[in-house]
């Protein structure tokens, strides 16, 4: 389909290609039609949330927290837009892809591993200083930019200090939807 202002998302963004899919969202490479900048847009279909209040609260919390975070090694949220059926996160496009792909190809030496580990620790230390705890760190949520620097992404399961109970524990689920469902299923069987 040829690009026209009529098919521009909010008269601002041109969706180009699908980068990845999750249970609730798809992520697209896009261009800001005002300045040509590459960005990524995470599209959440509200119907997939099945009117689940907890999932909607997770999304609201993710938006709130991502707006607060500003660190060199954390993917930047530029804005959030919505329609009746979809939510759009306009985020920094991280050109290098997932760290998972690089590790799977065996493209890591000790020096590069040390560099990425230091960048990860810097990002996590910053998050913790803001009372934010990622809880879904995995190679697929660690991206590399065009300079080979690490960027932490996917803050969908973030708890905040207010969710820490008097026993010092977080009483919220975390991880991927599949692992959460396995935990809940095994508890139900007992």
CATH code where residue 65 lies: 1.10.510.10
CA atoms within 13 A on the CB side of 87: 16
Q: Are 39 and 93 in contact (CB under 8 A)?
A: yes
Residues 6+ apart with CB under 8 A from 117: none
36 has a pLDDT exceeding 50: yes
With residue 182 as reference, give the H or E element that holds it: helix 177-189
CA angle 147, 101, 156 (to 5 degrees): 85
Domain contains 68: yes
Q: How many domains does the chain have?
A: 1
Query: Residue 7 has what pLDDT?
Result: 63
pLDDT in the model for residue 16: 93
Residue 117 lies in a domain: yes
- 11 assigned to some structural domain: yes
Compute the residue count for the chain.
190
Asked whether the predicted pLDDT for residue 47 surpasses 60, the reply is: yes
Q: How far from 73 is each of 12, 16, 149, 152, 182, CA to CA, in Å?
A: 26, 25, 8, 6, 31
Residue 166 binned pLDDT confidence (cut-offs 50, 70, 90): low
Continuous segment of H or E residues that includes residue 61:
helix 53-68
Contacts of 189 (CB under 8 A, 6+ apart): none
- Pick the residue with more confidence: 121 or 176? 121
The answer to whether residue 189 sits within a structural domain is: no
Q: Is residue 112 part of a domain?
A: yes
**Comparing 98 with 53, which gets the higher pLDDT?**
98
Q: What is the pLDDT of residue 106?
A: 83
- pLDDT tens readout for residues 129-158: 998 888 778 888 899 999 999 999 987 755
> Is residue 37 in a domain?
yes
Assign 92 to helix, strand or coil.
strand
When pLDDT is averaged across residues 150-176 and rounded to a whole number, the result is 61
Q: pLDDT of 53-75, one tens digit each?
A: 878 888 888 898 899 999 999 99
Query: Average pLDDT for residues 92-96, to the nearest whole number?
Result: 95
Q: Residue 26, annotated ligand binder?
A: no
Higher pLDDT, 12 or 3: 12
151: domain range?
5-183
pTM of the model: 0.77
Separation CA 173–CA 162 (nearest Å): 15
Residue 105 forms part of a structural domain: yes
Confidence tier at 103 by pLDDT (50, 70, 90): confident
Residue 169 resides in a domain: yes
């Amino acid at each position: 389909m040829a690009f026209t202002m009529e098919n521009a998302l909010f008269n601002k963004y041109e969706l180009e290609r699908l980068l990845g899919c999750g249970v609730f969202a798809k992520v697209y490479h896009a261009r800001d039609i005002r300045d040509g900048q590459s960005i990524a847009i995470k599209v959440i279909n509200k119907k997939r949330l099945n009117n689940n209040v907890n999932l909607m609260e997770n999304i609201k919390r993710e938006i709130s927290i991502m707006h607060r975070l500003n660190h060199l090694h954390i993917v930047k949220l530029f804005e959030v837009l919505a329609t009746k059926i979809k939510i759009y996160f306009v985020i920094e496009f991280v050109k290098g892809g997932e760290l998972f792909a690089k590790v799977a190809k065996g493209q890591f030496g000790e020096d590069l591993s040390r560099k990425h580990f230091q960048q990860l620790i810097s990002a996590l230390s910053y998050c913790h200083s803001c009372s934010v705890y990622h809880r879904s760190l995995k190679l697929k949520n660690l991206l590399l930019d065009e300079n080979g620097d690490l960027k932490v992404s996917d803050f969908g399961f973030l708890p905040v200090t207010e969710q820490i109970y008097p026993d010092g524990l977080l009483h919220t689920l975390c991880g991927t939807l599949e692992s959460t469902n396995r935990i809940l299923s095994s508890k139900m069987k007992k």
